[in-house]
Structure 1
């Protein structure tokens, strides 16, 4: 789905990933679930592109519903996969904290589980190799993605700011559709390791001034990063 010139989304409001298109190729931000592979191929075709045009995958963190097809791209097409050093082992299938008890509604939970199963979520494909990145890095990829450290959801959670498309990709730094309750609008994401730290980390997004705030779960938000951060902070209170 085209959001704006050079900016695309694949997946749905339940789980999504993004593509940045530029003259020198395509950067993929997050990789959803394994079954999003077909969505990726179809979207690239609609853009007049192919898998050979993908120059890199940048993961906002290492959870299973974000690593998706990344290893397949790496293994079959030689595409490097970038992840923060603190989440490198997580992206390779390392253990994560069990976390606090989550608030949920049965209908939303069933919808999330059903969608995840349909897209291969029961059998995650973990990374075998990654390129480690750090807060402040600017990657040599189409769109020149900027890495913004966002610890909290996981130790190595990042946001990816791409000035060329006026967008910041936040992974699970926040959500606009809570996968366990179905609530919509900017809010803290579930399954967060350190909820208070995750809220504090949101302030690192403000200097971008980005119009688009693009989460891994929920509808794209286009009222600006300041409004998104304020809404999440209010919801957390």
Structure 2
């Protein structure tokens, strides 16, 4: 699905990944769930591209619902996968955390779990090789994505700023659709290691001038940074 010229989405408001499409190739932001592979192929076919046009996958963090088909791209097509050093072990399946689930409602939880299972969430292939990135790094990939450290959800969570499409991808730094409660609008994401750190980290996005703020879960936000952060803080600090 096209959000704007050069920016496309696969998946849905439950779990999504995004493609930055430029003349020199494609940068994939996150890799959703394993079953999103078929969505990826359909999206690429629709724009006359193939997996070989993908120059790199940049992970906002190393959780299983963001690395879905990344190893398939890496092993079958030689696509490098980039992740912050602090989340590299998580992306390789060498460590994990079990943060509290927090509040929930049975309907949204069942929808989330059912969707994750249908999309291969139980057959995630962890990465066998990653390229580590650091805060402030600008990657030599289509769109020149900039890495912005956003620790809190996980130690190596990052935002990815792509000025070419006027967007910042925040992963689980925040959500606009809570998969456990069904609540809509900017708010803290579930399964977060350190909510206080996540809140503090978001100040690093205030300098950005973008049209799109795009989480891994929930609707893309089209309205700028100041508005989304204000709405988030109203919920987080209530």
SS at match of 1:127: coil
SS at match of 2:228: helix
Give the structure 2 partner of residue 159 of structure 1. Answer: 159
Q: How far apart are the structure 2 equivalents of 1:208 and 1:49?
A: 30
Q: How far apart are the structure 2 equivalents of 1:188 and 1:34?
A: 25
Which segments of 5 or more consecutive residues in structure 2 lack a partner in the other structure?
none
Give the structure 2 partner of residue 91 of structure 1. Answer: 91
Deviations 1:43-86 (A, max 9, x none): 01111111110000000000000000000000000000000000
TM-score by length of 1: 0.99
Give the structure 2 partner of residue 136 of structure 1. Answer: 136
Contact conserved, 2:101 with 2:190, CA < 8 A, in 1? no
Following superposition of structure 1 onto structure 2, how do residues 10-29 of structure 1 map, counting pairs within 5 Å?
10-29=10-29
Give the structure 1 partner of residue 31 of structure 2. Answer: 31
Q: Does 2:190 correspond to 1:190?
A: yes
Following superposition of structure 1 onto structure 2, how do residues 1-237 of structure 1 map, counting pairs within 5 Å?
1-237=1-237
Q: How far apart are the structure 2 equivalents of 1:95 and 1:59?
A: 16
Deviations 1:160-179 (A, max 9, x none): 00000000000000000000
Q: CA RMSD in A?
A: 0.7
Q: How far apart are the structure 2 equivalents of 1:223 and 1:177?
A: 16
1:208 Cα shift?
1.3
TM-score by length of 2: 0.98
SS at match of 1:143: coil
Q: How far apart are the structure 2 equivalents of 1:142 and 1:98?
A: 35
Deviations 1:118-169 (A, max 9, x none): 0000121100000000000000000000000000000000000000000000
Which segments of 5 or more consecutive residues in structure 1 lack a partner in the other structure?
none
SS at match of 1:34: coil
Contact conserved, 1:168 with 1:213, CA < 8 A, in 2? yes
1:101 Cα shift?
4.3
Deviations 1:30-50 (A, max 9, x none): 000000000001101111111
Q: Which runs of 4+ in 1 moved over 3 A?
A: none
